[in-house]
Structure 1
Amino acid sequence: MARTDDDVDAALLARIHQLYGRQSHLIDGGFAREWAQTFTPDGEFCSPSYPAPVTGTDALEAFAGRFYVGARDAGEVHRHVITNVAVDRVDDDTLRVRAYLQIVATARGGASRLVRFTTIGDRVVRHGDTWLVDRRTVARDDA
């Protein structure tokens, strides 16, 4: 059971917001390896948008690479927009993070459209002196 959010101080909240902002910029910018490294080495990404969970750094890197190349080949720029980040401390080394995630696609020279609106539920763990996503579970609003 998570403790109250009173156990999460401003410095930790800032670090988690930075993690989520960095993740968005990395996957949208085609930095697949760096994005994958924001997960633990055996980190897991589970989404109903894809046929199976993606587990481990190499598989996460390949997944992020396909996402970027797919957008580029479609002549679009994709942006991950994360909002309403809520952080609860499970214990000293584990956080539960919930947030809304929108994926917006913009055709080069064209209009933007909302691809998906989702909620993410993450288990974020201390890994050395940093925090990494250990497990991400995505829930689609249209499911």
Structure 2
Amino acid sequence: MPTTQSRTDLYAEVQQFYARQMQLLDGGAFEAYADTFTEDGEFRHTPGREPARTRAGISTELHEFHRRFDGDPVQRRHWFGMIDLEPQDDGSVRSTVYALVITTRPGGKPDIAPSCVVHDVLVRVDGELLNRSRRVEHDQLP
């Protein structure tokens, strides 16, 4: 079991990882976002769809998903909070996070939807923190 100091360091590291990762996503840097996953990473973000697998698959999935915003001057921001970390015996970390997606259009008010719970498995590869898997559950769905 990690010491209090090492858990504090891990929490800060994961929070910084998420800040960088979400800024890449919100900035449309989908290839760089996909690089925050392991080569064989898995990403399930849309209910009812198969997960994207591999970095190339994650990047392709995100490009396809965001085509629906072509011609729409929308800005989307992903907000992660209430991060709960569970270090595992194999060195991985299970992370459960509350996520809000805030959508804003010029002249409009921010719209917060969806509200989600994100389940990640984080691992170290060559000392770098990466996502091995991400599963997003939308609160509005049964």
Give the TM-score of the pair, scaled to structure 2: 0.88
- Separation of aligned partners in 2, 1:138 and 1:5: 29
**Kept in 2: contact 1:90–1:96 (CA 8 A):** yes
Deviations 1:17-64 (A, max 9, x none): 111111110000011111001110110012343521111101111223
What is the match of residue 71 of structure 2?
73
Equivalent residue, structure 1, for 2:57: 59
Aligned counterpart, 2:35: 37
Secondary structure in 2 matching 1:86 = strand
Cα separation, partners in 2 of 1:36 and 1:59, compared to 1, 3 Å: same
| Native 8 Å contact 1:71 1:77 kept in 2 | no
Alignment correspondent of 2:22: 24
Q: State the SS of the aligned residue for 2:79.
A: strand
Structure 2: gaps spanning 5 or more residues: none
4+ residue stretches of structure 1 with deviation over 4 A?
3-8
Structure 1, unaligned runs of 5 or more? none
- Relative contact order (alpha carbons < 8 A, sep ≥ 6): 1 or 2 greater? 1
The alignment-based identity, stated in percent, is 26
- TM-score, normalized by length of structure 1? 0.88
Q: How many residues are aligned here?
A: 141
| Post-superposition offset of 1:100 | 0.5
**Counterpart AA for 1:94:** S
Aligned-residue RMSD, C-alpha: 2.1
Match of 1:40, as an amino acid? T
How far did residue 15 of structure 1 move? Answer: 1.0
